[in-house]
Amino acid sequence: MVAVVNQNVINQCVVSQLGIGFRPELARFIESRDDIAFVEIIAEDYSHLECIPQALRDLQERGVTIIPHCLSLSLGGADSIDLGRVKHLNSLARYFDSPFVSDHVAFVRAGNLESGHLLPVKRSEATLQIIAENITTVKEHLSVPLVLENIATTFQWPDNEMGEVEFVSRVLEDSDCGLLLDLSNLFASSHNLGFDALEYLRALPLQRLKYVHMAGGIFKDKLYHDSHGHPLNHQSIALLTALKALCPVARVMLERDDNFPADGELTCELGAIANA
């Protein structure tokens, strides 16, 4: 069972900027908070600028930073990058005057077939070359920096040539991209794949850290699933505390995509991330 964090943990975690993933179901809650410095939007949710809701326009008006987050570039895929997706991502960044945009080190599409999930790539020199070429293409059509996120996974390729942290670090360094560190994804993968999350943190190029994701999940059949629909767990908060001991943490945000709780529960989770 996932443990909910307590007040002692809340008091340990102080960050510079607190954020949350914008969802229509959370718009009224976000509007009521004066401690939300930034929100992240899913780029695929807004196919045209005309689709942007007034709630987001109001947040922008009051000075809240809005970061477009993409799910579908498929930077780890061998297919050519869909430039339409990149240009749309860039149009959102320009509209909101965003400091950067983000996507994942993952595979999601091949031959016009969508996986519907962020899948792990084979960690090899050949894959590094593919990702480098894809990122170069993407960056040529962006007017802001690109930030990359580590994914959560329940499996890995059997013939990987390197560990996950070495692979992610190589991607960041080779592409000169910033890091979106998802600590809940890190906990999930470390639990499911059997590696040390703290060693992972210490090995990352943390000077590239731009912001942090935190989300809830659930244990099922000995695996941990990053559901974004369950309470924030104490393991992710412990990783945030460990991260703070290693480097400055400028922005941390809560993700909730399903099973939206009462405002009081969200307030407790945000309090666990930052003692506002």
pLDDT over 80 at 48, yes or no: yes
Is the per-residue pLDDT at 5 higher than 90? no
Judged by DSSP in three states, 233 sits in: coil
Averaged pLDDT, 71-99: 97
| Confidence at 4, pLDDT banded by 50, 70, 90 | very low
Q: What are residue 179's phi and psi, to 5 degrees? A: -115, 125
- Packing angle, helices 183-193 and 234-246, rounded to 10: 110
- pLDDT tier, 15 (very low <50, low <70, confident <90, very high otherwise): low
- In angstroms, the CA 25 to CA 91 distance is 24
Percentage of the chain modeled with pLDDT above 90: 89
pLDDT tens per residue, range 170-206: 999 999 999 999 999 999 999 999 999 999 999 999 9
As a whole number, mean pLDDT of residues 104-132 equals: 94
Q: Say if residue 32's pLDDT is above 80.
A: yes
Phi and psi dihedrals of 33, rounded to 5? -95, 135
CB 18 within 8 A of CB 37: yes
Question: Radius of gyration over alpha carbons of the chain, in Å?
Answer: 18
Could you tell me which CATH number the domain at 7-273 has?
Answer: 3.20.20.150
- Going by C-alpha positions, the residue among 169, 164, 138, 163 that lies closest to residue 74 is 138
Instruction: Output DSSP code: residue 112.
Output: T
Give φ, ψ of 256 to 5 degrees. -145, 115
Q: Do 170 and 124 touch, CB atoms closer than 8 A? A: no
pLDDT mean over 17-21: 97
User: Token pair for residue 180?
Assistant: 């979106």
What's the one-letter identity of residue 33? R
Closest by CA to 243, choosing from 213, 266, 270, is 213
Is there a contact between 19 and 211 (Cβ–Cβ < 8 Å)?
yes
**pLDDT at position 8:** 43
> What sections of the chain are H helices per DSSP?
7-12, 27-32, 54-61, 83-96, 125-140, 164-175, 183-193, 197-203, 234-246, 263-273
pTM attached to this predicted model: 0.92
**What CA–CA distances, in Å, run from 172 to 145, 148, 214, 235?**
12, 8, 20, 25
Q: Each residue of 167-193: b (16+ CB within 10 Å) or e?
A: bbbbbbeebebbbbbbbbbbbbbbbbe
pLDDT band at 113 (very low <50, low <70, confident <90, very high): confident
C-alpha–C-alpha distance, residues 273 and 268, integer Å: 9
DSSP state of 263: H
